[in-house]
Structure 1
Amino acid sequence: MNVSLCIATYRRPDRLALLLDDLAAQTRPPDELVIVDNDPDASAEAVVAARLAIGLPFPVRYDRQPVKNISLTRNHSVALAGGDWIAFIDDDERAPAAWLDQLCSAVRDHAADGVLGPVVPVLPANAPAWIRRGRFYDWTRLRSGQPVPPNRLRFGNLILRASLLHGPAPFDPAYGLTGGEDGDLLTRLAQSGAHLVWCDEAVVHEPVESARLTLGWLLRRALRGGQDFARHTLAGRYGSNSLGARARLVLRAAAQLLAATLLTPLSLPFGRHHAVHWMTKASANLGKLTVFWGWHYREYA
């Protein structure tokens, strides 16, 4: 396997430096590393230059994509990649030494076109107790080798056959400021027959930034997640997008919004984390409904 590892980065030089150290220590290093900086001020350039001066066990391609759009940035990284396989990791994650080797092994073991792995959140020491009890940042984990359900497909830790990313724009620029470009791409690939499986051993860690330890951030992320689900549903990514399917989506979201709103105050005596759980459910279902009147929360704007 000839593997290009792609990183889209935006104003996280300290996090990127730590990740580069992790990648240098991989038991199976990438055959090349592609870093595309979405910051017009090129905040990652000095970090990359410093690590190159120390020495890295693989060639590095660094470039800028100055237009604020995560899809355009990812597309540029794919265009620069020369490998037969392309792995992706976020610029704020940490990769244990065996990470890439485990992804590659899973490709071979399961004859997969793509492999996803878990992103394990790491809360800072000052995280509030209700945040810790709520487990709001956890991903659903699956059995290794199990096909990943369409509504669980996302980036952050995966490898894909490069031939699946053909064309000038595999990531839809319409998702460039809202997010959701990863789920859109992966569900399209799954619909076209790509075999995408899980590898539970290929763990990466994501230190949770202090700015995300707030109720407001959790509600905004839940709202965006609901919008992503509705947009993918309306695009036919999860099955039929007939008029009946759209009506069922609206009715179900409205009913779940009402139920979650009612359960929020009722659950508060049992702990703040329970109330916040239902608040995020309400926000997610509100997000589904807002798609029908054309409003999209632009998280990356």
Structure 2
Amino acid sequence: MSTSSESPNASVVICSYTEERWDLLMDVIGSVHAQTLVPQQVIVVVDYNVNLYKRLIATVEGATVVENTGPQGLSGARNTGVGLVTSDVVAFLDDDAVASPDWLERLTAFYDDVDVLAVGGRVEPVWETVRPAHFGEELDWIVGCSHRGMPKVASEVRNVIGSNMSFRLDVVRRVGGFNVELGRQGTKPFGCEETEICIRSVIGTPGSRVVYEPAALVHHHVPAHRGTLRYMLSRSWSEGISKAQMSRVVGQKRALGPERRYVHSVVPRAVFAGVLDWARGSDPWGLARAGTLVAVLAFTAAGYMRGRQLASGSQPLRAVKAAPRGLTEATTEESK
């Protein structure tokens, strides 16, 4: 292990696009200010919502509030935040993901190793009501959370989770930031931009690593409607399309390695356990969980095939090579 002489400092970027999450956003900002490791900067990026921007400027103290200067969407907003960061490390939180008090301290501890390019943590779902009985923990990736089958101790991984991740600032800037042709735009549930940037970062630096530290915990709010079968299948379809888009940029082998292991290992065990629990009478919802898992897998695969089909008749997505507009400089306004 290669080490540096001192731990890096870190800033936190929070991206938001809707006033509907106002109370959650205030909790997120409050959790950042309560960290055991004080962040060098707290930056809130508003994605094309003037009313939300004005409200934050008038309300929030101790943070820099800016509008997205890049293309609309989560990738553009994140790049805008990166353009303002002056610390060694930039960490990202969603506007509905509250950080544990030692979250930032646990993430940055791994940057003593100069080969570590990115560190992410565990994302625990906090259900608005209760977890639906048909929604197994193996499917928590649908709601942007860590799922059963992920490492239980700090481990090297392909990519971090978008709602709880950090990068060396120079790495993000060197690879050109988040690909604005990928990722969520408003309520459209596409993704994979954090997976793609992790892959690009490691490709550009042989011998480097991305680390998952489950002790760096955030609690992610999950609305009740995201537990419905309708939402689960819709999100699975979108995930398949997103994976197809990403595979065009980084290649199919890099894009789908962990997914293949998930399908071959985690899914069969979960389906078997669900059916067995139902057959024994120990859990009447076991069969429903197993069936939901199979349906989600089928919709994800169908989405991926549809994405590949659409890609065959379109221009290839650009692999980011240069820093996009807003990544190296942005207009700032300090909140009062």
Shorter-chain TM-score category?
Answer: 0.7 to 0.9
Is 1:42–2:58 an aligned residue pair? no
Q: Which residue is 1:121 aligned to?
A: 125
Alignment counterpart, residue 204 of structure 2, candidates 188, 192, 195: 192
Whose relative contact order is higher, 1 or 2, with alpha carbons under 8 Å and at least 6 apart? 2
Q: Which residue is 1:298 aligned to?
A: none
Q: Which residue is 1:299 aligned to?
A: none
| Aligned-CA RMSD value | 3.2
The C-alpha deviation readout for 1:138-168, integer Å capped at 9, x for no partner, is 52432544211x2x44321122110011269
Distance 2:254 2:224 in 1: 40
Aligned residue identity for 1:216: R
Distance 2:134 2:116 in 1: 39
Q: Which residue is 1:273 aligned to?
A: 289
Unaligned runs of 5+ in 2: 1-7, 280-285, 312-336
TM normalised by structure 2 equals 0.71
Runs of 4+ more than 6 Å apart:
none
* Cα distance, 1:231 vs structure 2: 2.7
Q: How many residues align?
A: 270
Distance 2:241 2:57 in 1: 35
The C-alpha deviation readout for 1:185-216, integer Å capped at 9, x for no partner, is 11111222342112121011102112312112
TM normalised by structure 1 equals 0.78
Q: Equivalent residue of 1:201, what SS?
A: strand
Is 1:80–2:92 an aligned residue pair? no
Q: Which residue is 1:292 aligned to?
A: 308
Distance 2:204 2:175 in 1: 18
* Cα distance, 1:225 vs structure 2: 2.0
Cα pair 2:119 2:213 within 8 Å, conserved: yes
* Cα distance, 1:99 vs structure 2: 0.7
Alignment counterpart, residue 221 of structure 1, candidates 235, 239, 249: 235
Distance 1:284 1:188 in 2: 24
Q: Equivalent residue of 1:175, what SS?
A: coil
The percent of aligned pairs where both chains have the same amino acid is: 22
Aligned residue identity for 1:231: Q
* Cα distance, 1:122 vs structure 2: 1.4
Aligned residue identity for 2:301: N
Is 1:15–2:31 an aligned residue pair? no
* Cα distance, 1:237 vs structure 2: 4.2
Cα pair 2:232 2:296 within 8 Å, conserved: yes
Cα pair 2:94 2:163 within 8 Å, conserved: yes
Distance 2:67 2:175 in 1: 17
* Cα distance, 1:111 vs structure 2: 5.2
Q: Equivalent residue of 2:31, what SS?
A: helix
Report the CA distance shift for 1:283/1:50 in structure 2 as closer, same or farther (over 3 A).
same
